[in-house]
Structures are given as structure tokens and as C-alpha cells.
Structure 1
Amino acid sequence: MAQPKRLPVDPIAEAKRQWLAHGWTDAAAGMTAVTSIMRAHQLMLARVDETLRPLGLTFARYELLTLLSFSRSGRMPMASASARLQVHPTSVTNTVDRLEASGLVRREPHPTDGRATLVVLTDAGRALSREATAALNAEVFEHPGLSADDTNELVRLLARMRRDAGDFDDPRPTPDPL
């Protein structure tokens, strides 16, 4: 991927300067945080897309294949996939449609719930998930652009932000055995 020309000034720092100059002092730090996270997301997604494109995958398709590969039987109800991936059921349906057309998953009726449909990983889907994971590990995940300590701190801060926004609950402590 061609590297874009570096800008002579950080546009987010300049936006913060403008926020402060316009008297929006109370919002300046938040605007800077939100804009920085969104730009970092763009940069990370570009790296992920560049890695997955040769394999014919998007990140959404990769996530679903990998989620299925982590399940014991390589199958789960589509509603469960939607919940675990934190996306709308329509998005899962569209992703499954594309993966199914490529022979990477198939749909099966749920054995006990006539209203539910299972999405099932095929052997080709499992193999592609493994290949894509190896590529992402080598090209993106092993070197995210931050030191290990900074990466851990970033994940900690973002997890707290997500939890506080209602994204998940902290796990309850398990009781001591009797």
C-alpha cells in the first residue's frame, strides 16, 4: 500500500486548537479523543483490509468465520452470531449470504427450534479462517503500532470506556466450591 504523504501538522491537534480558540474548552478534550480514535480506526482497518483483500475477505466475513471456528462444532444460531459479534441480525444475514455463496459456510435448520437457523462452517471456511488468522497475526496483530505496554494500556482504557457505555458487564466472581 502506498504511504500517504505526511502532513506538516497534526490535523487533530489543529482541530483541538480551533475548539479552544472558539471557546469550546469543555468539549475540546472529548472531540480530540473521539477524532483520534476514529482516525486510528481508519488506519487499523486499512491494514486489516490490505491483509484480507488477497484472501477475498472483509473483516466482517473474517470475524464470522473465526467465531464459528472457535465454536466446538463449527456451528451456531445466527442470532447467537449476531449477539457475539455485536452487529445487527441483518448484517449477519448479509455476511452469511456472501460466505455461503463462496462455499465457506452453509445454513441448516436448528434441530430443536423451528424458528432458528444455524450457520455452519465448511472445511473450506475453516481453512480460510486459519490462513487469514495467520496473515493478520503476522501483518497486523503482532505489530499493532504500539509497544506491548502501550497496547495493554490502550485495551484497558477502551475496555473501561466500552463497559461504562453498557457494552458488557464485568464477569461475576465465581463462588468458592463447597
Structure 2
Amino acid sequence: MARPRPLSIDPLAEAKRQWLAHGWEDAADGMTVVTSVMRAQQLLLARVDAALKPFALSFARYEVLRLLAFSREGTLPLSSVVARLQVHATSVTSTAERLVRDGLVLREPHPHDGRAALLTLTDAGRDLVERATRALNTEVFSNPGIDADDATALVGIVARLRKNAGDFTDPRPVPDPL
């Protein structure tokens, strides 16, 4: 697919101009923030999707595989996957079912909680997520489209937005090792 030519104007700047012209001064900056972040998400997700396409993975499927690969044993309770990915349980369950169907994850009963399930990464899942991670690192993460200083500033700004929205709290202090 050919990449579209850049527009001659920034449509978000034009939207802000229109907001101001319509007397919505109090909301113009916020509208610009929201639509800018949403557009950036679209641009980044398109790059991620392109990098994951050869592996037949969506970003949701990749995230579950990567989270399991990061765990000590390659196994986590489904509820822990839901909590760590901050996604609705129904979405994670649906994603897990597709990963099980494809032989990338096993879904097993929790040994101590009959109502819970464990997700376990298979060897095929581990191989796939490692290859997909190399592709993402090369094609997206090593060059997200902004320089390192801007990346650090952006991550800090978005972290404050997320914290203010109740996404997380400051971690408890860790005691010094004995």
C-alpha cells in the first residue's frame, strides 16, 4: 500500500482554529490534546501492525505472549494477565482462546482455585514471541519517530496523565537490602 502524501496543513491545528472561532476557548487545548494523542496512537499502531503481520499476530495477542514470556515460568493466572495488561477480562479471554487454538498458549485449571485458569506459554508461543519482538524492536521501537529527549519527555507527560486518571499509583518504597 502506498503511503499517502502529507497534507498541506495540520488538520488538528485547523480543528483547534475552528474550536477557537466557534467560541470554545476553554475546550480547544483539551480537544487538541485528545485528538493529537489519538492520531499518534493510530500512526504507531499501524507501524506495530505492519511489523506483526508476518507473524499473524495482533498487538493484543503479542502482549499476552510477551507478558507470559517475561514471567519466571511462562505461566500466569488469567486474572494477572487481565490486571497487568489493563484490559477487560472478556478481551483477554477471547485473545487467550485464539492463542490456545493456535497452539501458542495452554489454558489449564488453577491448582488451588477451581474458578481460576492459568495461561502457559508453549514452546511454539515462546519462539513466535521472540521473533516478533525482534521485528518490533527493529521496525518500531528502536525508532519511534521522535528523538530520545522528546521520547523521554512524552513518556513522562503521558505517565502523569495516566496517573491522574487513576491508572497507577507511585510504587511503595522498597527497603534497602540487608
Q: Which residue of 2 aligns with 1:91?
A: 91
Secondary structure in structure 2 of the residue aligned to 1:132: helix
CA apart distance, 1:175: 3.6
Secondary structure in structure 2 of the residue aligned to 1:41: helix
**In the alignment, does 2:147 pair up with 1:150?**
no
Q: Which residue of 2 aligns with 1:48?
A: 48
**In the alignment, does 2:24 pair up with 1:21?**
no
Q: Which residue of 2 aligns with 1:174?
A: 174
Secondary structure in structure 2 of the residue aligned to 1:119: strand
CA apart distance, 1:105: 0.3
- In structure 2, what is the Cα distance between the partners aligned to 1:170 and 1:42? 29
- In structure 2, what is the Cα distance between the partners aligned to 1:176 and 1:53? 45
TM-score by length of 2: 0.97
Q: Deviations over 1:19-72 (max 9, x none)?
A: 000010011011001000000000000000001011100000000000000001
- In structure 2, what is the Cα distance between the partners aligned to 1:131 and 1:175? 37
Q: Deviations over 1:143-163 (max 9, x none)?
A: 000000000100000001100
Q: Which residue of 1 aligns with 2:36?
A: 36
Aligned residue pair count: 178
Q: Deviations over 1:67-122 (max 9, x none)?
A: 00000110111111001000011001100111111100011111111111101100
Q: Following TM superposition, where does structure 1 have runs of at least 4 consecutive aligned residues deviating by more than 6 angstroms?
A: none
Q: Which residue of 1 aligns with 2:5?
A: 5
Q: Which residue of 1 aligns with 2:138?
A: 138
Query: What residue ranges of structure 1 are gaps of 5+ in the alignment?
Result: none
CA apart distance, 1:174: 2.3
Counterpart amino acid of residue 140 in structure 1: V
Q: Which residue of 2 aligns with 1:160?
A: 160
CA apart distance, 1:177: 6.0
Query: What residue ranges of structure 2 are gaps of 5+ in the alignment?
Result: none
Task: Name the % identity.
Answer: 66
